[in-house]
Chains A and B, each alone.
Chain A
Amino acid sequence: MQSATMKIDRHARMRVGTAIAVYVWQYPLRLVHWGLVISIALMSLTGYYIHDPYIVGQTRTPFLMGTFRFVHEVCGMVLLALFLLRFYLLFAGDRWVRWRAMLPLRKDAWQEMWQMIRFYLFLRPTPIAKVGHNALAAMMYLGLYCLVLVEILTGLAMFNWLLHNPVLGIFVSWIPRFMGVQNMRLTHYLLMFVFISFGIFHVHICLLVSRTERRGLVDSIFTGYKVIPVDELEEDDHKAILTSRGRGVAK
């Protein structure tokens, strides 16, 4: 029967049982996501100009570098706020965005990562379907946030290089002492390309996984809802209850 459908439709149909639309990505998380997209895009555009001002001596742009630097710095502050919001969500968010979901803590996490790598290498036909992030995705996002932190700190160090704010200095004045002011700028600039590369990679992977697992993955970052089969959702609920119970016992 399966093969008959396939022949008619060319693409396989997949029965996923009774499914439930689950509100996986809460509003603040989606805010962080789209805020990062917009602020990083704006900062890449303005930041490249600040590195290499390719528009020179235009009389109709009397304050071009000043404006670009202003936009860059405002976006940087937005990025800092989004980072802090995401950090807060690690401890106060829904269970799919909390710190426990982001770290490879489960016993099968490393196995899950390996299975995902096998999927990307075409050694496995389907990805590991999870309600939230799979272990490999969680690791990628954790790494991304670490790089965002490096970008924020080097950016603030450059900001304070001119501002001389003693309170901000407590957090960032060690950076130029540690790596030198030029390497700090180099790091800040090179990370831009890492973020752009990550963006390309991220969109590709999302489309790929969404196409394969068919649960509205791409849609979920707009609406927050993913379509999850009942039995998988029950399993996820069961694990969450076990985790919280385990934590209760430990306390």
Chain B
Amino acid sequence: MLRPDTSVGEALASRGVTRRQLVKFCSAMLGTLALPDRYLAKTMAAVTQAKKPILVWLQFQDCTGCSESMLRSSHPSVADVVLDLLSWEYHEVIMAGSGDSANKILDRVAKEEKGKYLVVVEGSIPMSEDGMYCTIGGRTALDIATQVCSNAAATIAVGACAFDGGLVRAKPNPTGALGVHEAVPGIKVINMAGCPHNPVNTAAVLVHYLTFHDLPDLDQYNRPLFAYGRVIHDQCERRAHYDAGRFVTEWGDDGHRKGWCLYKMGCKGPEATFNCPVAQWNDHTSWPIRAGHGCIACASPRFWDNMSPFYQRLPNVPGFGVETSATNIGLGLTGAVLAGVTVHGLIQMIQPAPVTSANVSQTGKEN
């Protein structure tokens, strides 16, 4: 095992990562960060020379999907570089240690490396019943997160659950789950929303941190602008079909086979902001819309509640049944008004023409 103070360059060399692979990796990261290629030398230098920062990876109410997404990156350079960029001291899925010795490592990092290490959080933090819904080694998730995150240089919340509670927080949210930045306020946090997070973006944030010693620019939800600043609809490869009025109207119909726009099937591409169509998944193989399924806006805030029903354009109107669409309500209103004025007009017509005493007296006055 390598010493924690090994430089990244040495670590990569010992893993057999060539300079050519490293240049490719750094170029990909620059592309993701939307930085010009003049930063390549600086990024290369930072990635090879930096002392490896210590990273701990906490998992709370999660499905390990974000860890899987990070580790299952089959492209050799990305996986190797990302794993070797940092000194991974604690990660429940992949670490060798267990039990007391594992807990001691976490404790040691939080105490001895105060303000110098990075922490990645995966999963939401339950707040109900004093947080008893998620405990590790007898400590609640909130307790661990408060200690580890507030002593870290920065917290990276990966996935929808760590961002804002995700699936766990969806109605009725039995565990009172919250995202990290809500459960532990006041910490320096960057949210890598998405279900799961895109490992390319998370790697880019790490490279940005190594190169510039700071986090990239963030939006109002603390998500990095380079990844969450643009609407999916505007980057979508099926946008031309949308503008031309070519839509899938039924799963498996002719338009679906031809790869037409999924707008009518409830695709949330026009609502969602993410670089999914550009970064894509599984080493740039595909992404949901290319695979023929509409976007569900998994990187948007509270997406389970806000973006459902996933296969309809608009949400259900509160107070009406789930089968009542906004169109039915609107047409009902219009029809009721039309019927109302018709009846009102008919009643008015059978009324005698108005000759009031006021009119008569007025007439009399004039005379």
Q: Interface on A for B, CB 8 Å cutoff?
A: 2, 6, 11-12, 14-18, 51-53, 55-58, 61-66, 69, 120, 122, 125-126, 161-162, 164, 177, 180-183, 185-186, 189-190, 192-194, 196-197, 200-201, 204, 207-208, 212, 229
Contact = CB atoms under 8 A, between A and B. Distances in A.
A186 B341 contact: no
Contacts of B243: 63, 65-66, 69
Nearest to A120: B344
A183 B315 contact: yes
B contact face: mostly helix, strand, loop, or mixed: helix
B146 to A, nearest CB: 27
A17 B366 contact: yes
A65 B240 CA distance: 10
B252 interface: no
A157 B279 CA distance: 27
B246 A57 contact: yes
Contacts of B307: 182
Contacts of A197: 333-334, 336-337
> Top 8 nearest A-B pairs by Cβ distance?
A193-B330, A64-B245, A204-B341, A125-B354, A66-B243, A15-B363, A197-B337, A12-B353
A63 B244 contact: yes
A212 B329 CA distance: 33
B353 A200 contact: no
B344 A204 contact: yes
Contacts of B229: 164
Given A12-B354, A65-B244, 15 more contacts: A12-B355, A16-B362, A56-B245, A65-B245, A122-B348, A122-B351, A126-B354, A161-B270, A180-B306, A182-B271, A182-B307, A185-B271, A186-B314, A190-B330, A212-B354
Given A2-B360, A181-B271, A197-B337, A51 B245 contact: no
B1 interface: no
B143 interface: no
19 contacts: A15-B362, A15-B366, A51-B314, A52-B327, A53-B264, A56-B247, A56-B264, A57-B246, A57-B255, A61-B245, A63-B244, A63-B245, A65-B244, A177-B220, A182-B314, A183-B306, A196-B330, A201-B337, A212-B354
A196 B334 contact: yes
A122 B352 CA distance: 11
Interface in B239-255: 242-247, 249, 255
Contacts of B151: none
B231 interface: yes
B260 interface: yes
B263 interface: yes
B345 A204 contact: yes
B63 interface: no
A14 B359 contact: yes
Nearest to B335: A197
Contacts of A193: 329-331, 333-334
Contacts of B331: 193
A58 B245 contact: yes
B347 A122 contact: yes
A231 to B, nearest CB: 8
B356 interface: yes
Interface in B303-337: 306-307, 313-315, 317, 326-327, 329-331, 333-334, 336-337
Contacts of A18: 366
Interface string B30-47: 000000000000000000
A14 B229 CA distance: 68
A14 B364 CA distance: 11
B52 interface: no
A31 to B, nearest CB: 27
B96 interface: no
Contact of B355 (A2, A51, A229): A2
A222 to B, nearest CB: 22
Contacts of A161: 231, 270-271
A14 B355 contact: yes
A208 B348 contact: yes
Given A65-B245, A204-B344, A15 B333 contact: no
Nearest to B316: A186
Contacts of B231: 161-162
A125 B338 CA distance: 23
B249 A56 contact: yes
Given A12-B354, A201-B341, A204-B341, A185 B330 contact: no
Nearest to A3: B355
B300 interface: yes
A207 B307 CA distance: 44
Contacts of B365: 17
B233 interface: yes
Contact of A52 (B264, B337, B355, B362): B264
Contacts of B95: none
A55 B245 contact: yes
A162 B333 contact: no
Nearest to B263: A53
A15 B359 contact: yes
B130 interface: no
Contacts of A126: 354, 356, 358-359
B283 interface: no
B113 to A, nearest CB: 36
Contacts of B244: 61-66
Contacts of A208: 344-345, 348
B234 interface: yes
Contacts of A125: 354-356
